[in-house]
A and B are shown apart, each in its own frame.
Chain A
Amino acid sequence: MGKQIARSDKSGIDVVETSTAQSPEALIRIVGLEKRFSARSGGTVTALSNVNLEIQKHEFISVVGPSGCGKTTLLRILAGLEQASAGEVHSGGERIIKPRADAGVVFQQAVLLPWNTVLANVLLPAHLKHDTSAETVTRAERLLEFMGLKDFAAKYPFELSGGMQQRVSICRALMRDPKILLMDEPFGALDAMTRESMNVELMRVWSEQRMTVFFITHSIPEAVLLGDRVVVMSPRPGRISEIVDIDIARPRNLRSMGTPRFGELCDHIRRLFGAEASMVSAL
């Protein structure tokens, strides 16, 4: 099978071409993935075409791409909420065909149950497994404390701000002790200030809990700040156009965004978007 092919483009940025390389360390392996939906008008729409990706353990993968590039569909397949039309998706050697206990999902909206308290919402994954032990409750309380929500355990979601609700939903996803955290534009609905503090928070969670993160975003700076690698996707049909290694040293913080390297990487990814746009208009 093909190895990872690294090459340098004009901006001097290492680009790893999509490949079908196999590595024993890979947590998630996506090979030749294709997803078609039947359209209302009768035909089929190809949402994802020939997607190949390996995600390593403890890796932080950011995914950017314009609307309609299939990034949410890719996440839903990884979460077991959708089935691939062709190709294979493996997690830890097993095919993903349904939701798995080792994945935690954070959606665009917090999707908390409004009739449950914050604590009960965090405990939901455990309750679904009929686990009501005192240790589990303690663990949920510790997670809430870790996310700065200690005093809000008994509150209801409607009493919380949007950022706090999303933090509750992250706690809920962490409750399963996931190997991989799947996040679909989790901070898209938040204001810029809250969003930045959530980015810092997420880096802290990731560095302490050491799980793998698959993070979809619309924001190129957010993708670069958080990711070990940024997967750039393009639409019609949705596919991976490039995978960019982010070689900014960790630990990173908001000041990392001011460095020249950060700007270069953002520019590079932005140009990929531009190239796509001019290709579409040329058609």
Chain B
Amino acid sequence: MIGIRALLASHRLQSVLLALAVLALWQGACRLFDISPLVLPSPDKIAGKLYTLVASGTLWPHLWATLVEILSGFVFGVLAGLVIGAMISLIPVVERLVYPYLVALQTLPKVAIAPLFIIWFGYGLTSKIVITALVCFFPILVSVVAGFHATDRDQLDMMKAFGATSWQTLVRLRVPSALVLIFAGLEIAAVLAVIGAIVGEFVGAQVGLGYLIIALNFNLDIAGVFAVLIVLSVIGLVMHGVTRVAARRYIFWIRRNEAPVLV
């Protein structure tokens, strides 16, 4: 009996209750208005379909393929973004020559380039990994460049006054300062990675959750489509959560600015 009122006041419980209420409304509306499952299947049908996909083993190869695409694309995109972003930030010539073109490339919708990548890299995993990497690359690039520009001027003066070399200033000040924005970029890239992989699979694939959605849609198995969407959102949430936990651990000084002041 540790305070039912306190439990009700907790935000986590409130959002769970809200989700349950929406599901109940959804279920009730489907029954009440006799909505065709081809338009909007009821939650219990979606749950049943999800169970079938898991239990029959249909889901696993598709899940595995998409996870490989998301994770490898994320890793390659982030690495490329870090390296090229650091080069742009630290070598003025590179910034002057290369950055304008990269910005121009960024304005291009990645979905529009996807068919080209299928031609160049084939129907297999490679083309999806390249598309995912490209989608993840830009937010990291921009956050690295912005992060290096965001170094506090007073801190730079302080390092200079205490006789730091430019290498020491880079390692001890500019990189840790940039981490704050880089982690913000990682959070965005983690969510975009899921989109990148699915876009790639939509354009042309033989396996993967995106492919599965297209196939189920083609068979008018709308409950199945919803079931796969749930799996995708879980992947996105986990990716996002991992980057958040990493951020809280590695840039611990940011969120605790409001920490209780001693003395």
**Is the beta-carbon distance between B154 and A80 smaller than 8 angstroms?**
no
Asked if B11 lies at the interface with its beta carbon under 8 angstroms from chain A, I say no
Asked if A128 lies at the interface with its beta carbon under 8 angstroms from chain B, I say yes
**Is the beta-carbon distance between B158 and A111 smaller than 8 angstroms?**
yes
- In the complex, residue of chain A having the shortest beta-carbon distance to the beta carbon of B153: A111
**Is the beta-carbon distance between A128 and B168 smaller than 8 angstroms?**
yes
Return chain B residues, CB-CB under 8 Å to A129. 163
Complexed CA–CA distance, A159 and B257 (Å): 8
CB distance from A77 to the nearest CB of B (A): 12
**Is the beta-carbon distance between B164 and A107 smaller than 8 angstroms?**
no
Complexed CA–CA distance, A176 and B158 (Å): 14
Asked if B44 lies at the interface with its beta carbon under 8 angstroms from chain A, I say no
Return chain B residues, CB-CB under 8 Å to A159. 256, 259, 261-262
Asked if B160 lies at the interface with its beta carbon under 8 angstroms from chain A, I say yes
Complexed CA–CA distance, A157 and B251 (Å): 14
Return chain A residues, CB-CB under 8 Å to B162. 99, 105, 124-125, 128, 172, 176
**Is the beta-carbon distance between B161 and A99 smaller than 8 angstroms?**
yes
The answer to whether A161 and B163 touch (CB under 8 A), given A81-B157, A113-B172, is: no
CB distance from A159 to the nearest CB of B (A): 6
Asked if B253 lies at the interface with its beta carbon under 8 angstroms from chain A, I say yes
Return chain B residues, CB-CB under 8 Å to A128. 159, 162-165, 168, 172
- In the complex, residue of chain A having the shortest beta-carbon distance to the beta carbon of B254: A114
Q: How many residues of A contact B (CB 8 A)?
A: 30
CB distance from B183 to the nearest CB of A (A): 13
**Is the beta-carbon distance between A107 and B253 smaller than 8 angstroms?**
no
Return chain B residues, CB-CB under 8 Å to A152. 262
Complexed CA–CA distance, A103 and B165 (Å): 17
Please tell me the size bucket of the interface on B. Answer: 20 to 34
**Is the beta-carbon distance between B262 and A161 smaller than 8 angstroms?**
yes
Complexed CA–CA distance, A114 and B259 (Å): 13
Chain B stretch 214-263: residues in CB contact (< 8 A) with chain A: 251-253, 256-257, 259, 261-263
CB distance from B79 to the nearest CB of A (A): 23
Complexed CA–CA distance, A155 and B261 (Å): 12
Q: Which of B162, B168, B173 has most chain A Cβ within 10 Å?
A: B162
**Is the beta-carbon distance between B157 and A156 smaller than 8 angstroms?**
no
Contact with A along B69-111 (1 / 0, CB 8 A): 0000000000000000000000000000000000000000000
Partner of A105, one of B158, B164, B168, B172: B158
**Is the beta-carbon distance between B161 and A160 smaller than 8 angstroms?**
no
Return chain B residues, CB-CB under 8 Å to A158. 253, 256-257, 259
CB distance from B42 to the nearest CB of A (A): 50
Asked if A154 lies at the interface with its beta carbon under 8 angstroms from chain B, I say no
Asked if B43 lies at the interface with its beta carbon under 8 angstroms from chain A, I say no
**Is the beta-carbon distance between A109 and B154 smaller than 8 angstroms?**
yes
- In the complex, residue of chain B having the shortest beta-carbon distance to the beta carbon of A79: B161
**Is the beta-carbon distance between B176 and A115 smaller than 8 angstroms?**
yes
Asked if B155 lies at the interface with its beta carbon under 8 angstroms from chain A, I say yes
- In the complex, residue of chain B having the shortest beta-carbon distance to the beta carbon of A156: B253
**Is the beta-carbon distance between A113 and B176 smaller than 8 angstroms?**
yes
**Is the beta-carbon distance between B176 and A111 smaller than 8 angstroms?**
no
Q: Which of A76, A111, A157 has most chain B Cβ within 10 Å?
A: A111
Return chain B residues, CB-CB under 8 Å to A172. 162
**Is the beta-carbon distance between A114 and B157 smaller than 8 angstroms?**
no
Asked if A164 lies at the interface with its beta carbon under 8 angstroms from chain B, I say yes
Return chain B residues, CB-CB under 8 Å to A124. 162, 172
Return chain B residues, CB-CB under 8 Å to A109. 154
Return chain A residues, CB-CB under 8 Å to B161. 79-81, 99, 103, 105
**Is the beta-carbon distance between A81 and B160 smaller than 8 angstroms?**
yes
**Is the beta-carbon distance between B253 and A115 smaller than 8 angstroms?**
yes
- In the complex, residue of chain A having the shortest beta-carbon distance to the beta carbon of B161: A105
Complexed CA–CA distance, A113 and B261 (Å): 17
Return chain B residues, CB-CB under 8 Å to A189. none
Return chain A residues, CB-CB under 8 Å to B251. 115
Return chain B residues, CB-CB under 8 Å to A114. 253
Complexed CA–CA distance, A181 and B210 (Å): 65
**Is the beta-carbon distance between A107 and B154 smaller than 8 angstroms?**
yes
CB distance from B87 to the nearest CB of A (A): 24
Return chain A residues, CB-CB under 8 Å to B252. 115, 156
Complexed CA–CA distance, A124 and B164 (Å): 9
The 8 closest A-B pairs by CB, nearest first: A114-B253, A105-B161, A111-B158, A125-B162, A111-B154, A115-B176, A99-B161, A161-B261
Residues of chain B having any CB pair with chain A under 8 Å: 152, 154-155, 157-165, 168, 172-173, 176, 251-253, 256-257, 259, 261-263
11 contacts between A and B (CB under 8 A): A101-B163, A109-B154, A111-B154, A111-B157, A111-B158, A124-B172, A157-B253, A158-B253, A159-B256, A160-B263, A172-B162
